[in-house]
Amino acid sequence: MEEITISKASISDVTTLQVIGKQTFFETFAASNTKEDMEKYLTENFTVEKITKEVNNPGSHFFIAWENAEAIGYLKLNEVNAQTELQDDTSLEIERIYVKSDYHGKKIGQVLYEKALEVARIQKKKSIWLGVWEENPRAIKFYEKNGFVAFDKHIFKMGEDEQTDIMMRKTLQK
């Protein structure tokens, strides 16, 4: 495996984010959802317009993991009013960490998570939080291993299907 680099995404990366976002979301969840729900979610959530708006939001931050010139994963962080739930100025939300399936088990998710921690510490956040699908044991285990604990649940709309996400939080040391 070549050296992995992480770069902050800008407006020029919208197409890359769209492609990697669709691919990794599909790889992660297609087998557990109907074709119709998957198509609806991908069509609504990975448009160039929607991603452009997210990238332009000053409260959202995207980072792309690269192996040479290939995007292999990405991270989306939200602060304050860009957060999907808490909108807490003392915390940072990890909205997405996704890695191409060919790179699972190669610590790319860990590298992206460590970037999230770095951002949270630079911003002097007290905690970092996220929502993870209750039927994604691999991700739950990953976050538990990194010190996250469940604190609530919320509904995530996947197409027409309402799914339960476990909300998890990690308190950061001063």
Rg of the chain (C-alpha set)? 15
Write the pLDDT tens digit of every residue in 100-131. 999 998 999 999 999 999 999 999 999 999 99
Question: What integer is the mean pLDDT of 87-110?
Answer: 92
For residue 25, what are the CA distances in angstroms to 58, 81, 122, 139, 144?
Answer: 24, 24, 29, 13, 21
Whether residue 174 has pLDDT greater than 70: no
Query: What's the predicted TM-score (pTM) here?
Result: 0.92
Q: Which residues are catalytic?
A: 143
Token couple for 169: 């939080």
CATH, domain 4-125, list 3.40.50.720, 3.40.190.10, 3.40.630.30, 3.60.15.10:
3.40.630.30
Please report, for the chain, how many H helices and E strands are present, in that order: 5, 7
In the prediction, which pLDDT does 1 show? 56
In the prediction, which pLDDT does 84 show? 78
Write the pLDDT tens digit of every residue in 33-82. 999 999 999 999 999 999 999 999 999 999 999 999 999 999 999 998 78
Whether residue 6 has pLDDT greater than 90: yes
For the chain, which residues make up each domain, given as ranges? 4-125
Q: How many other CB atoms are found less than 10 A from the CB of residue 131?
A: 20
Please give the Cα distance from 42 to 109 (Å, whole number). 21
